[in-house]
Chains A and B, each alone.
Chain A
Amino acid sequence: MRVLLGQILPAVAAVLGLIVLWGLLVRLPGVPDYLLPAPERVWAVGWADRDLIGRHLWATVRIAVSGFVLGSVLGILVAIALTLWRPLRAATEPILIASQAIPPVIFAPILIAAMGFGAWPKILVVTLGAFFPVAISAGIAMREADRTLVDLLTSMGARRLTVLRRVRLPGAVPGIVGGAKISASYVVFSAIIAEWMGSSVGLGVYLQRSQASYRMDQLFAAVGVIAVLGVLLFWASALIGDLVLARNRAIAAGRST
Chain B
Amino acid sequence: MTADGEQHPTTNEAGAGLVVEHITHRFPLPGAGLFGRHPGFRTVLDDLSLTVPPGSLTAIVGPSGCGKSTLLKVLAGLLIPASGRAEVNGTPLIGRPGGVAYHPQQDALLPWLTTLDNATLGAEIAGQSRAEARTRARALLDRFGLAGTERAWPDELSGGMRQRVSLLRSSLMPQPALLLDEPFGALDALTRRQLQFWLLDITAAERRPTLLVTHDIEEALLLADRVIVLSPVPAGIVHIEDRPDAELRREQREHGADHPAAQRILAALGPGSGT
Q: How many A-B contacts are there with CB distance less than 8 Å?
A: 63
**Is the Cβ of A152 less than 8 Å from the Cβ of B108?**
yes
B155's partner among A156, A157, A167, A256 (CB-CB below 8 A) is A256
Cα distance A151–B121 in the bound complex, in angstroms:
14
**Is the Cβ of B126 less than 8 Å from the Cβ of A156?**
yes
Chain B min CB distance to A155 (Å)? 4
Chain A residues within 8 Å of B209, by CB:
none
Chain A min CB distance to B155 (Å)? 4
Cα distance A236–B111 in the bound complex, in angstroms:
26
Chain A residues within 8 Å of B102, by CB:
152, 155-156
Q: Smallest CB-CB separation from B79: which chain A residue?
A: A151
Scan B1-30; emit 1 where CB is below 8 A from any A CB, else 0.
000000000000000000000000000000
Cα distance A166–B109 in the bound complex, in angstroms:
12
**Is the Cβ of A148 less than 8 Å from the Cβ of B106?**
yes
Does chain A have a CB within 8 A of B168? no
**Is the Cβ of A170 less than 8 Å from the Cβ of B110?**
yes
B97's partner among A148, A157, A170, A249 (CB-CB below 8 A) is A157
Chain B min CB distance to A109 (Å)? 45
**Is the Cβ of A149 less than 8 Å from the Cβ of B76?**
no
Main secondary structure of the interface of B (DSSP, over half): loop
Chain A residues within 8 Å of B202, by CB:
none
Cα distance A255–B156 in the bound complex, in angstroms:
10
Chain B residues within 8 Å of A166, by CB:
110, 121, 125
Scan A73-88; emit 1 where CB is below 8 A from any B CB, else 0.
0000000000000000
* Total contacting residues, chain B, CB less than 8 A: 23
Chain A residues within 8 Å of B53, by CB:
none
Chain A residues within 8 Å of B104, by CB:
148, 151-152, 155
Does chain A have a CB within 8 A of B122? yes
Scan B69-112; emit 1 where CB is below 8 A from any A CB, else 0.
00001001110000000000000000001111010101010111
Q: Smallest CB-CB separation from B105: which chain A residue?
A: A148
CB-contacts of A133-155 with B (<8 A): 148-149, 151-155
**Is the Cβ of A155 less than 8 Å from the Cβ of B112?**
no
Chain A residues within 8 Å of B100, by CB:
155
Q: Known contacts A152-B104, A162-B125; can you find 20 more A-B pairs with CB under 8 A?
A: A148-B108, A149-B108, A151-B73, A151-B104, A152-B102, A155-B76, A155-B97, A155-B98, A156-B122, A157-B97, A157-B98, A157-B99, A157-B125, A249-B111, A249-B112, A249-B155, A250-B111, A252-B154, A253-B111, A255-B155
What are 13 A-B residue pairs whose CB atoms fall within 8 Å in the complex?
A149-B108, A152-B102, A152-B104, A154-B77, A154-B97, A156-B173, A157-B99, A162-B125, A167-B110, A170-B112, A250-B111, A253-B155, A256-B155
Binding site for B on A (CB under 8 A): 148-149, 151-158, 162, 166-167, 170-171, 248-250, 252-253, 255-256
